[in-house]
Chains A and B, each alone.
Chain A
Amino acid sequence: AQSVTQLGSHVSVSEGALVLLRCNYSSSVPPYLFWYVQYPNQGLQLLLKYTTGATLVKGINGFEAEFKKSETSFHLTKPSAHMSDAAEYFCAVTFNTNAGKSTFGDGTTLTVKP
């Protein structure tokens, strides 16, 4: 069965510091991978996605992620954190064998300190 693990339920960084949010998945078939951001009392917004092709994908707000098949990982990074990046981040995986349903990680709360 597919699963997604986000290491670290809470990550705290200083403004201007590197942001690294970890995501690992388990799968026996090629996955489609997504990162979403959720602000309080709002829905989820797509940050970036990997489907095929280049393994380093760039998304909105300066975020990027790299698909590493050998490590079954899709970690999210941003070189310099802004206060506005404080939010909940979810990694999700979808397979073309399950009617497009996504499995979400438990989420990581990012706190940005001034």
Chain B
Amino acid sequence: GAVVSQHPSWVICKSGTSVKIECRSLDFQATTMFWYRQFPKQSLMLMATSNEGSKATYEQGVEKDKFLINHASLTLSTLTVTSAHPEDSSFYICSARGLAGTYEQYFGPGTRLTVT
């Protein structure tokens, strides 16, 4: 149980284009999902908290107009990187929060984005 998927697992796009990454909770409903960015050999950096049916809450320093997050259902959150640039190349990981009060997170396998 508690499986989270991400799609695509890797993507290469040209500079200036937009890329959408999907995060799905496969066997449970997730009212809260988190989006992280991870640089090589570094820890996870929280980008935003995504709540179903409401606007995402972005961490300080994260451009909300560049990283669009939508959480339209209890099993799907999407991250769209708009007008991507090479510096946006990174490993993006989503997680879904478990049952209320448990605070553990179930992580997706990650999406490797390369912007050329």
Instruction: Assess whether B103 is in contact with A104, with CB atoms less than 8 Å apart.
Output: no
Across the interface, which residues of A come within 8 angstroms of B106, CB to CB?
46
Indicate whether A41 reaches chain B with its CB closer than 8 angstroms: yes
Measuring CB to CB, which residues of chain B are less than 8 angstroms from any residue of chain A? 4, 6, 32, 34, 42-44, 46, 49, 57, 91, 93, 95, 97, 101-110, 112
**Separation in Å of the B12 CB from the closest CB of chain A?**
15
**17 interchain pairs (CB within 8 A)?**
A32-B103, A34-B104, A41-B110, A42-B109, A43-B108, A43-B110, A44-B93, A44-B105, A46-B104, A46-B105, A99-B49, A100-B97, A102-B105, A105-B43, A106-B42, A107-B42, A107-B43
Report if A101-B93 is in contact (Cβ < 8 Å); known contacts: A41-B110, A44-B107.
no
Instruction: State which size class the interface on A falls in.
Output: 20 to 34
A51, B110: Cβ atoms closer than 8 Å: no
Q: Is A74 an interface residue (CB 8 A)?
A: no
Provide the main secondary structure of the chain B interface: strand
Interface residue ranges, A against B (CB under 8 Å): 32, 34, 36, 41-46, 49, 51, 90, 94, 96, 99-102, 104-107
Among A42, A44, A49, A105, the one with the most B-chain Cβ atoms within 10 Å of its Cβ is: A44
Q: With A43-B107, A90-B43, A100-B49 given, can you name 9 additional A-B contacts, CB distance below 8 Å?
A: A32-B104, A42-B109, A44-B105, A46-B106, A99-B57, A100-B103, A102-B103, A102-B105, A107-B42
